[in-house]
Structure 1
Amino acid sequence: MYLYHFGIKELPFTLTPNTSYFFGLPSHNEAIEVLLTALKTGEGFIKVTGEVGTGKTLICRKLLNELPDNFVAAYIPNPYLTPSELRRAVANELNVELTEMSDQQEFTQRIQQKLIDFHRQNKGVVLIIDESQALPVESIEALRLFTNLETESRKLLQVVLFGQPELNEKLNLPELRQLKQRVTFSYNLKLMDTDQLYQYVKHRMHVAGYQGEEIFDLHCCKMLFKASKGTPRIVNILCHKSLMLAYGEGQNKVSSAHVKHAIEDTESAVKLNLKPLLVLSSLVITCLLLVLLYFIFFRAL
């Protein structure tokens, strides 16, 4: 595509949550710090929420990579599961063998024994669930029962929930009030501001191997911010399209026109309001025409 043109080794603005491109936005760093602190103190439920495209899955992957050695992680990326399916998914992640006919009681006994074994090895177990707003209410209640497994001083299983704001709405349901009370640490991801977006774009280009002069100047980044509201995923889409447009024209720098076309081509982007400029231009043209007609009229006299 445009790799050779810009002298980069890989696409810098893909939507895959690649931890090598982790920028360390203040909001992301704070979330990871909260998570690691909560896990070390042995809390039962920890919650991280954020709008679509704010980097929840990236933080989730980053957490998995940075968990201390004394933790065993179970990761469930697709939580739209019945209570039975959720139990089996957890068992599978922890290498707990279950028969096809295993019921809830047998599962509880086997998973508890596995957790006790890890505890004897001085290891904590953390269950990380991405997109947890998709968990059915019945499965969330089953999840709460998992965390009843504990010693006198520590939970045998800790749960980290990553989800969209709809997760908060679901936890506000009366039937889930017991679980909501067990959420001891929570964090809500924030969007980027203009300066953070500017640094974010430069960072991703640098990680991709770019070493030349600035491709996205501050003016372009201000346009990106207005169109994306600071959402990383939308920024990635717009930057990728802008680079394609610049490459198509043989340009070594992204222009405001490239960004504008990228915005117009992206449904999730906020379209820039150019109406005031058009109105102003129309007024200027009208005034110039009136002046021109004035001189033509009086010259004719």
Structure 2
Amino acid sequence: MYYPHFGLKEPPFKITPNTDFFFSGGNRGAVLDALVYAIVNGEGIIKVVGEVGSGKTMLCRMLQTILPERVESIYLANPSVAPEDVLDAIAFELQLDLPKDADRLKVMQILQAHLLKRHAEGRQVVIFVEEAQGMPLATLEEIRLLSNLETKQDKLLQIVLFGQPELDVNLNETHIRQLRERITHSFHLGPLQTKDVGEYLIFRLRAAGYHGPHLFTAAAIKRLSGAAEGLVRRVNILADKALLSAFAENTFQVTPKHVKAAIQDSEFGSKLKSNWTYLFGMILVIGLLVGLVAYVWMISPYSLKIDHTANAISAVRSSVKPMPEKNTVAAVVKKNANPVVSTDTASKLVAGSPLVSASQEKSVPVANQVVTQSIVVDKQKPVQQKASVASVPIVEPVTVQQTVQTVETKPVEKLAQKPIETTQSLLDSRFEATKSWLSSGSPDQITLQIKSLRFGEQFNDAQLKTEFDMTRRQLGVENLYVYRKKQGGENYAVILYGVFKQRSEALAALNKLPSQIKNNRPYLRTLAGINKEVEQGQ
């Protein structure tokens, strides 16, 4: 639309990687040269990390373009490849003819023979793995094993991993440390600086056929660079919309006003606004907290005085002994054990009192410290014999073994054990269902592996119950399958979800999983692959 207006022959800011528009500034050219050197002369595994939209795919396409002819490259763009399928995927990219129903060992032998043949011809094979941060760790470990294919002098296969910063987090896992140690070259694609953004814009315009002065003003470049955060893909999106905005006003230069319109029309423009709102809210909350702390600090001397006064009043009250009431006979017993005081003696002192009945002759439990037992005398009838506190005989205390605690805790223990027993029974039923499915299901059936629990030398049943219970609350229990395996001398428990006939159905179910489950990086598994894994662990 705006191309003739600015004297352009083609779109300058398409987000589809085009090697004719590769920008060597911003350290991109230096990284490309280093990658070529590492692939041709290096050994081991190479890693390239950069944020979303930083230019990793463009770098990968450039490598495929400028590598020497003797280097044969293959490209894995799908990260959700199961460990048992990755060898078949590589063989497919190399156009190898595999026998029908070939097992993993057979595929590895055919692959090794092909690599040895290429090496004898003086050729190299390199595999580019895109979006490696989304690849299951077990699949990455399977790829690492491919790096063991070598002759006495050279590696038969070079591996280059392209991924987002999450790839570094995954590689820091303890059980993947062998892969991390094999990485001999690591590169990082940082964001473009404002100066680099200006050079990038005019470079793309020139490549698209523009011959005039810079279309973007310095202020527009600065604002565009800040909004794009130096990410190449965002720069392309904003530059394209800014040119369209300038064309709509029939002007031949892009100003900050046009960039502002482009930002407002972009998806990440709302994110920038929300970031400022969040920052303002945080500043406000911090200010309120500082004010609250200052207020508490200012009134703290007064609160201390009030506390001291309250403590003094409590001490005075506790030191004053209460006066005995009229018509009351008190028996005071002070013992460390749990005593029992009989009221029989007190009842004999008050003859003829209708308030002292036979039911009061039962033993009365008394507290550990000081207990007062009072018997009220009916005022209407005279007391035949006066008794003072000193004349009341005290019955020797009898130590009683308390059983209240045991009686109270029994039902509590039963209540606490009930959900554990329920979870255990559900887990046992899913173990049986999985065993039946693995033995009778079709080898082509597909499932989703959503969790793999690593226990070490011994299984942790409590942890498995907890993880299973959390998973069933999110996905239900009917479609969950659980099995145990051994790998590398360590015990694992694997939780699967669903059984699907078609890969498309499994991918649709994968996309509908809750975000908390997706954080575990679930991926597709076949029944045949699971059975192989179980057999190898036995």
Identify the TM-score tier after normalising by the shorter chain: 0.7 to 0.9
- AA at the equivalent of 1:197: V
Tell me if structure 1 keeps the 8 A contact 2:23–2:29: no
Cα distance change on mapping 1:94 and 1:273 into 2, 3 Å: closer
- AA at the equivalent of 2:60: C
Tell me if structure 2 keeps the 8 A contact 1:49–1:163: yes
For 1:294, the equivalent position in structure 2 comes to none
Higher strand share: 2
1:205 aligned onto 2:232? no
Spell out, residue by residue over 1:215-253, the C-alpha distance to the aligned partner (whole angstroms, 9 max, x if none): 112111001111112111111110011011111121111
Spell out, residue by residue over 1:168-223, the C-alpha distance to the aligned partner (whole angstroms, 9 max, x if none): 11111111110100000001111111111001000001111112232112111001
For 2:19, the equivalent position in structure 1 comes to 19
Q: Deviation at 1:274?
A: 10
Counterparts of residues 117-128 of structure 1 (less than 5 Å) = 117-128=117-128
For 2:232, the equivalent position in structure 1 comes to 232
For 1:252, the equivalent position in structure 2 comes to 252
Q: Deviation at 1:79?
A: 2.2
Spell out, residue by residue over 1:36-84, the C-alpha distance to the aligned partner (whole angstroms, 9 max, x if none): 1211223120000001111000000001101112211111122221123
1:219 aligned onto 2:180? no
Q: Secondary structure at the match of 1:191?
A: coil
Q: Deviation at 1:8?
A: 0.7
Cα distance change on mapping 1:272 and 1:192 into 2, 3 Å: farther
Q: Deviation at 1:273?
A: 10
- AA at the equivalent of 2:57: T
Tell me if structure 2 keeps the 8 A contact 1:242–1:262: yes
- AA at the equivalent of 1:24: S
In 1, Cα distance between the equivalents of 2:91 and 2:44? 18
* More moved, 28-37 vs 254-263: 28-37
In 2, Cα distance between the equivalents of 1:135 and 1:53? 19
- AA at the equivalent of 2:226: K
Count residues in correspondence: 275
Counterparts of residues 1-301 of structure 1 (less than 5 Å) = 1-269=1-269, 270-271=272-273
Cα distance change on mapping 1:87 and 1:274 into 2, 3 Å: closer
Q: Deviation at 1:108?
A: 0.7
Tell me if structure 1 keeps the 8 A contact 2:26–2:193: no
In 2, Cα distance between the equivalents of 1:8 and 1:257? 22
Unaligned runs of 5+ in 1: 276-301
- AA at the equivalent of 1:7: G
Tell me if structure 2 keeps the 8 A contact 1:79–1:86: no
Q: Secondary structure at the match of 1:9?
A: coil
Cα distance change on mapping 1:148 and 1:274 into 2, 3 Å: closer
- AA at the equivalent of 2:93: E
- AA at the equivalent of 1:71: V
In 2, Cα distance between the equivalents of 1:19 and 1:78? 22
Unaligned runs of 5+ in 2: 278-538
Q: Secondary structure at the match of 2:78?
A: coil
- Where relative contact order (Cα < 8 A, 6+ residues apart) is larger, the structure is 1
Tell me if structure 2 keeps the 8 A contact 1:71–1:125: yes
Q: Deviation at 1:261?
A: 1.1
Cα distance change on mapping 1:272 and 1:246 into 2, 3 Å: farther
* More moved, 209-218 vs 255-264: 209-218
- AA at the equivalent of 2:208: A
Cα distance change on mapping 1:247 and 1:112 into 2, 3 Å: same
In 1, Cα distance between the equivalents of 2:187 and 2:233? 20
In 1, Cα distance between the equivalents of 2:194 and 2:183? 33
Q: Deviation at 1:34?
A: 2.0
Q: Secondary structure at the match of 1:54?
A: coil
RMSD: 1.7
Tell me if structure 2 keeps the 8 A contact 1:12–1:208: yes
Spell out, residue by residue over 1:123-158, the C-alpha distance to the aligned partner (whole angstroms, 9 max, x if none): 111011111111111111110111111001111001
The two structures have a TM-score, normalised by structure 2, of 0.50
